Structure 1
């Protein structure tokens, strides 16, 4: 199978596949990033309120 493809064609197909995967999964990565930021903010607020109580 690989004998019929030249190296530049194989390289181009690989780059295209990686770029397509990143494009498709980008919303999932962004949602994960937003969720992590929200969790950090909630944790910080909880720690701040706990420190004020003490």
Structure 2
């Protein structure tokens, strides 16, 4: 089955598949990154408000 494709063709197909997967899932990665930043900010604000109460 693989005898018909050369190594450069297989590598090109692999790189193309990887790039396509990253392109498709990029919005999910960006959303996760945004949610993590918001979570860190909320934790930081909660700590500051706790310090002010004490």
Q: TM-score, normalised by structure 2?
A: 0.97
Provide runs of 4+ in structure 1 moved above 6 Å: none
Deviation at 1:52, TM superposition (A): 0.6
Q: How many residues matched?
A: 54
Q: Gaps (5+ residues) in structure 2? A: none
Task: Tell me if 1:10 matches 2:10.
Answer: yes
RMSD: 0.4
**Equivalent in the alignment of 2:22:** 22
Q: TM-score, normalised by structure 1?
A: 0.97
Q: Gaps (5+ residues) in structure 1? A: none
